[in-house]
Chain A
């Protein structure tokens, strides 16, 4: 999977490394900004009320 991505990135090794880092940052950002805030309320830490309002 990662080998496939690496082979399909353009440029020489340095350009590929740079693009890879940008991809990783983009994925982490998406996770922290959108995916985790959606997933976190599904865990029990949010249940602090007595009537589940």
Chain B
């Protein structure tokens, strides 16, 4: 085998590896977003379908009754159960919230930490989301400020949470931030709290950014969108 053949084959291999790396960057930056946007739209559409089917049954009961009925259905792993709106992240920003924080779940929406409180219940309703890749749901996480609204709906009720504290930077092992009463948030008594977590720095994994909020108001979906979502 001549030197020429060896050199040529080596060069071709290098070019191939380079091309694969470029393709991988395209995949991470662009294609995961395309896939995630499609998956999130599907999840939200599935939720709306499900809610549309439930409405006839929920309608005769009071909103409290509907809430109790919803509380009886446990969240199913990897399945959506709510839609989140954060006006600060964009007026059209809305993402499905799915149960559990498995890798596959977070590719389709935001993930609710298993074992933390249910939406609107006493305790800490904790949700994780991607900062980058898979649609960049929490790209502008550091923009969140005290007083910002985080609105969620489970199909029967609108829940408006108000941010009290954050973004707070911590380490990945700091599991106390999703405690029922997260100590570092400044909350001292049990209440209806919400915690959002994402990674920091943007493309890294050395830290986590945390935001805490408390439940400010609720209203049945029949009453229309909450004030925080109106223009």
Contact = CB atoms under 8 A, between A and B. Distances in A.
B130 A1 contact: no
Given A28-B23, A47-B205, A41 B28 contact: no
Interface string A1-31: 1110000000000000000000000001001
A49 B197 contact: yes
A6 to B, nearest CB: 12
Interface residues of B, number: 41
A48 B131 contact: yes
Interface residues of A, number: 21
Nearest to A2: B12
B132 A50 contact: no
Given A45-B28, A50-B172, A1 B129 contact: no
A28 B22 CA distance: 12
Given A49-B111, A53-B113, A44 B27 contact: no
B9 A43 contact: no
The 9 closest A-B pairs by CB, nearest first: A44-B205, A47-B205, A36-B27, A51-B175, A49-B128, A45-B133, A1-B12, A48-B199, A49-B101
Given A36-B28, A39-B24, A49-B197, 16 more contacts: A1-B8, A1-B12, A32-B27, A32-B31, A36-B23, A44-B199, A44-B205, A46-B103, A47-B172, A49-B101, A49-B172, A50-B174, A50-B197, A51-B173, A51-B178, A53-B113
